[in-house]
Amino acid sequence: MASSKPSAHLLRRQLKEMQNDKDLSNISCGLVDDNIYEWEVMLMISDDCKLYGGGFFRARLSFPPDYPHLPPKMRFETPIWHPNIYPNGDVCISILHPPRDDEYGYESAAERWLPVHTPETILISVISMLSSPNDESPANIEAAKQWREDPAAFKRKANKCVRDSLEA
């Protein structure tokens, strides 16, 4: 039974801590279909975020059964234009990459997943990533190109994502 696994107990505790943490008022988490390994997340981006401020972005965290030894996957369900988010919504951030040496030599093992990371640290890192895209290793090449070559157009497209997120 999956719910008796140590990872399920850890995730239940981490979810409860996040739901009770008043400092995380900009992050809301809950379970998808009562499955502890599938979390629905709402990121309410503060107005001081220069690109996506004021947006409400839905995402999903999918945890493997051997969490915390392996990272979860994160996917935005609300469409978002960002160099580090694939067009399908999958998030590409170092701390969500499996804990091993990068075959391309771009990331050190220390930048990748470590079991000390929690759903909270992941989501805070993703919010930070929204403000500071990494265009050196993009998941969305077109967004990275626009970020570098036409920042004003990129900002307009990001602002449209914010407006659209409020209508969803």
Question: HSE-up of 7 (CA within 13 Å, CB side)?
Answer: 19
The catalytic site residues sit at 92
Question: 3-state DSSP call for residue 64?
Answer: coil
Question: HSE-up of 79 (CA within 13 Å, CB side)?
Answer: 11
CA atoms of 95 and 111, how far apart (whole Å): 6
What is the per-residue pLDDT across 76-128, written as a single tens digit (0 to 9) for each?
Answer: 999 999 999 999 999 999 889 887 665 655 656 567 788 889 999 999 999 99
**pLDDT surpasses 50 at 148:** yes
Residues 83 and 144: beta-carbon distance below 8 Å:
yes
What is the per-residue pLDDT across 12-67, written as a single tens digit (0 to 9) for each?
Answer: 999 999 999 988 889 999 999 999 999 999 999 998 888 999 999 999 999 999 99
| Tokens coding 141 | 């090449």
In this predicted structure, what is the pLDDT of residue 2? 47
Element (H, E) at 58: strand 56-62
In this predicted structure, what is the pLDDT of residue 151? 95
Q: Positive or negative, the Cα torsion across 43, 44, 49, 53?
A: positive
In this predicted structure, what is the pLDDT of residue 97? 83
Per-domain residue ranges for the chain? 2-167
What would the CATH number be for the domain defined by 2-167? Answer: 3.10.110.10
